[in-house]
Structure 1
Amino acid sequence: MSSNNIVIIIGGGISGKLAARVLSDYYKEVIILERDQETIGPLSRKGAPQGEHLHALLHAGEHGLEELFPGITEDFYHSGAVKINSTIDLAWYHHGAWKIRYDGGYSTTLQTRPHLEWHIEQYIKKIPNIEVYYNQAVQGFLYNEEQNQVMGVQLKDKTINADLVVDASGVSSLTSSWINKRGIEIPEEIMDINLSYISKQYLLSAHEERDWKIKMVYPNPPLEKMGGTISKVEGNRYIVTIMGYHHSINESEVLKNDNGFLELARKLPKLDIHQEIEKGIPLTKTSIYRIPKIIWRRFDKSKYSPNGLLLIGDTVCRIDPVFGQGMSIAILQALALQKLLRKQKGELHNVPISFHKEAAKIISPIWNMVITEDFRYPATNGKKPFGLSVQQWYAKNIFLLSSQNQDVYNAFVKVMNLVTPITSLMKPSIIIEVLKFAFSNSRKS
């Protein structure tokens, strides 16, 4: 433990809990300030409306979470989470082709977000120097302008001083509005994707034999804008999430009755999901979550961001959730923070600056991979990366090769699960396979 006394974390969601776990080793007192009331079980909460929809914990995220909370993966399974073989139990229709299925030796955990978050919270409650204060809305920062130093936070009826403040409150954070009011320039990368998520849980027929535990039907852009996933989760339930880019879903029609969700599923590129749920029993109401834009706030590039203030998770970058990388990015950021804290050995005043640079290294390749796909839709607005058309051509061939070439798909699985960098898809052996595949297809057409 260092001589640092108090760290305040704004937001008790997944990013906030991860930050608390890491910082508890270096601060005498860690205080989490959460707007919501305390949950009494793995239930959805008002402050995380996205929790009603399907979430994924990628391989890198799952391994990192286990590192931070030893034994948590087994706890997931003991309370009903579903363990699957990632490349056998997943049926994935992508860019007009089904991925090859084989035993790659990878496992994945299927569960709802509330189930995952509640288990993390149980671990947090066991750490003696972490306190969670619920029903707390932070109204402002205590700020020393001369030193450009955040000194704590202002609540409704009191102030709390701190050596460090961590904002983990999400994309609509206090920091964003506070910085804008002060005229501080933080470079931003913004993409308009106008994405809608529509979800519902079902009980499916137990008499049907299924050769999958999760099935994903993704669109083939730019003509197809809708995709969907059906996944088994705890409690022998199935969660169905349908997503649509650029206002492709008529939400008012979907919300009219249960049949509206069924009719939406009928519009997917394949009828597999519709055929499952038309014989199923709805367990929940239809939930909608909108992501008009994705945004990356480049605190790593700012010369004027305040000392004593660290941003993590969606507060820094909200990425396209269709690719299921958000929670895993937060875990990788927490591990990066842990590594920095170990390196500083108690000299923590430079940690926020260093952390924002490390977070950018994590986000950058994932952001570029995601926007390469988002730009397949002409309606997507934002700054296009250099060489976009070449990247899209190469990625498309990787996707299609993954339906027939096990080595290529295996490499792609590792990249998608954030285990290996995207540059691993540029190995000579894979480039040769892509060129052969593309040349063969061009001769056929």
Structure 2
Amino acid sequence: MTTPFLGRAIIIGGSIGGTLAAAAIADHFREVVLIERDELPTEPVFRKGVPQGAHFHALLAAGRAAMDSLLPGFSDHAFEMGAVRLDSAQDVMRLDRVGWSPRFESGLEFLMASRPLIEKALRDKAAELDGVQYRSGVEVAGLIGADGRVTGVRTTNGEELSADLVIDASGRFSESPTWLQALGYPTPREEVVNAHWGYSSTFLEVPEDWDPGFQALALTAFGDGALTPESASRAMAMWVVEGERRWILTAQGSAGDHPPRTEEKLRDFISSIGVPELDKALSQVTFPEKISMWRDTRSRLRDFAGQPERPECFLAIGDAWMGFNPVYGQGMTAAALEASDLRTELAAHLTERTDELTGLAGRYYAKADALIKYCWTSSNTLDHRIPGVEYTVDGVAQEVDPTSSDFSDRLAAYMALDPERYVRYRETTQLLRSPEWLAGDEIVDAVRERWDELGKAVVPR
């Protein structure tokens, strides 16, 4: 039986989450309209609606695989535009609380590119899909609903657009809780974790034949046991993006210790971390472009999956559902995996109910919620050890346990002891492998048995 085509779907937001959602549902709708507040550029350049776009972005292996599945040819197109291939272990130097990560050929390939290039490559491929269209320069002001369903959207210019399905992909500043409340529905439970991170980023120009010994370098904030007193709250990353001589540098500071905007002060900030390999590499590069800053790095989870009452024919995806502290690099990948789940659940749903979408949102949330909760827990466990971190539920302050990362720190140290085990661990952090094995008795018992020994490894070296 051929799945019947539905009418129109409206996606609020034309960025990465929205584009992937369009790819996920395009086979089942005659028309998929992405409404984007910004004027979408024809080239891979920054735009106002993506304030984090000037900073480094990590596309995890699972995210890239999902994007290639949703939009075949995405990776090839991105490489044609200048994206770079890296081996996740061989080409990347990582220094964290358990020291330098092992380096060897792992077969786990990164696609390295700037956020604007990734977004443009996805839009290019989505524009090839039948029925998919972008309407840029249009802002959604609210939802239209009737009889327990969302039936369309209203724009700021007074236009009303009907739809069989509405997807909120409007990002970190989504107004969907307010819109749902206006239709008489309760707002989802909202958790916020704020470790007061701040970013400063710029593109670098590197010399010809420059070889710092890596193609990507990432240093985390160490907390206790840091290399220097200043580096306890500081982190950074730099890696190649488009072309061999175009790199990006992002300096990060937590607990309100934010990196500065001027080149001289930014170099001093990074030098204070106390890593000679980094100082040597930066001494040979120039800062030809302006330094961009970003300060709103809160993690926020709206529990749409647990919402006791919701309208049919409306769902959220990407940062509109959960916006990550971007220091952990999970956002784009989570959006891609959510879109994959949406495609799977929509196809299965339509085989059961033909053209009826009642219940789709519930089964989509149920499918994707385990991934969302894993990413939420793994990133915020690390933020909980940052001094002054704030955690609220529906605006009410909650207690934070700074020792909640003790096990994860020792787990990372244990994984680094064996190359085969480390590859499996990297596959898990890249969301290619289910994290369930990390909670199995074999792993947990091994970490517990070597608790003190592994604890001694939880210092930078």
In the superposition, the TM-score normalised over structure 1's length comes to: 0.92
Q: Is residue 132 of structure 2 the alignment partner of residue 130 of structure 1?
A: yes
Distance change in 2, residues 1:444/1:209 (3 Å): closer
Distance change in 2, residues 1:306/1:425 (3 Å): same
Mapping for residues 282-431 of structure 1, pairs under 5 Å: 282-345=287-350, 346=354, 347-382=356-391, 392-431=405-444
Question: Is the CA contact 1:4–1:163 (under 8 Å) kept in the aligned structure 2?
Answer: yes
Structure 1: distance between partners of 2:387 and 2:41? 42
Q: Is residue 6 of structure 2 the alignment partner of residue 4 of structure 1?
A: yes
Q: Secondary structure at 2:364's aligned position in 1? A: helix
Q: Secondary structure at 1:341's aligned position in 2? A: helix
Q: Describe the superposition over 1:24-57 as per-residue Cα deviations: whole angstroms up to 9, x where unpaired.
A: 1111111110111121211111111111111011
> How far is 1:122 from its partner?
0.7
RMSD: 2.5
Distance change in 2, residues 1:207/1:30 (3 Å): closer
Q: Secondary structure at 2:299's aligned position in 1? A: strand
Tell me which amino acid in the other structure corresponds to 2:257. S
Question: Is the CA contact 2:96–2:220 (under 8 Å) kept in the aligned structure 1?
Answer: yes
- Among 80, 92, 97, the alignment partner of 1:78 is 80
Structure 1: distance between partners of 2:181 and 2:122? 33
In structure 1, list runs of 5 or more residues that go unmatched. Answer: none
Mapping for residues 44-443 of structure 1, pairs under 5 Å: 44-95=46-97, 97-144=99-146, 147-155=147-155, 156-180=157-181, 182=184, 184-222=186-224, 224-236=232-244, 237-249=246-258, 254-255=260-261, 257-345=262-350, 346=354, 347-382=356-391, 392-431=405-444, 433-435=446-448, 437-440=450-453
Question: Is the CA contact 1:230–1:273 (under 8 Å) kept in the aligned structure 2?
Answer: no
Q: Describe the superposition over 1:231-255 as per-residue Cα deviations: whole angstroms up to 9, x where unpaired.
A: 0011330100111112111x5xx22
Structure 1: distance between partners of 2:122 and 2:196? 31
Distance change in 2, residues 1:434/1:387 (3 Å): farther
Q: Secondary structure at 2:243's aligned position in 1? A: helix
Q: Secondary structure at 1:235's aligned position in 2? A: coil
Structure 1: distance between partners of 2:456 and 2:373? 36
Counterpart position of 2:229: none
> How far is 1:367 from its partner?
1.0
> How far is 1:387 from its partner?
11
Q: Secondary structure at 2:201's aligned position in 1? A: strand
> How far is 1:78 from its partner?
2.2
Distance change in 2, residues 1:386/1:62 (3 Å): farther
Deviating beyond 4 angstroms after TM superposition, the runs of 4 or more aligned structure 1 residues are 180-183, 383-391, 441-445
Question: Is the CA contact 1:227–1:269 (under 8 Å) kept in the aligned structure 2?
Answer: no
Structure 1: distance between partners of 2:268 and 2:96? 21
Structure 2: distance between partners of 1:304 and 1:426? 33
> How far is 1:319 from its partner?
1.4
Structure 1: distance between partners of 2:64 and 2:456? 43
Tell me which amino acid in the other structure corresponds to 2:293. I
After the TM superposition, which of the residue ranges 272-281 and 333-342 deviates more from structure 2? 272-281
> How far is 1:271 from its partner?
4.1
Structure 1: distance between partners of 2:181 and 2:200? 32
> How far is 1:436 from its partner?
5.5
Q: Describe the superposition over 1:328-349 as per-residue Cα deviations: whole angstroms up to 9, x where unpaired.
A: 0001000100110111123322
Tell me which amino acid in the other structure corresponds to 1:161. S
> How far is 1:84 from its partner?
1.1
Structure 2: distance between partners of 1:443 and 1:47? 45
Q: Describe the superposition over 1:4-24 as per-residue Cα deviations: whole angstroms up to 9, x where unpaired.
A: 211111100000000111111
Tell me which amino acid in the other structure corresponds to 1:233. V
Structure 2: distance between partners of 1:248 and 1:444? 26
Structure 1: distance between partners of 2:132 and 2:22? 7
Question: Is the CA contact 1:204–1:277 (under 8 Å) kept in the aligned structure 2?
Answer: no
Structure 2: distance between partners of 1:170 and 1:444? 38
Query: What is the number of equivalent residue pairs in this alignment?
Result: 439
Distance change in 2, residues 1:418/1:290 (3 Å): same
Identity over the aligned pairs, expressed in percent? 24
Distance change in 2, residues 1:32/1:436 (3 Å): same
Distance change in 2, residues 1:429/1:258 (3 Å): same
Structure 2: distance between partners of 1:376 and 1:389? 4
Q: Secondary structure at 2:296's aligned position in 1? A: strand
> How far is 1:415 from its partner?
1.6
Structure 2: distance between partners of 1:177 and 1:246? 30
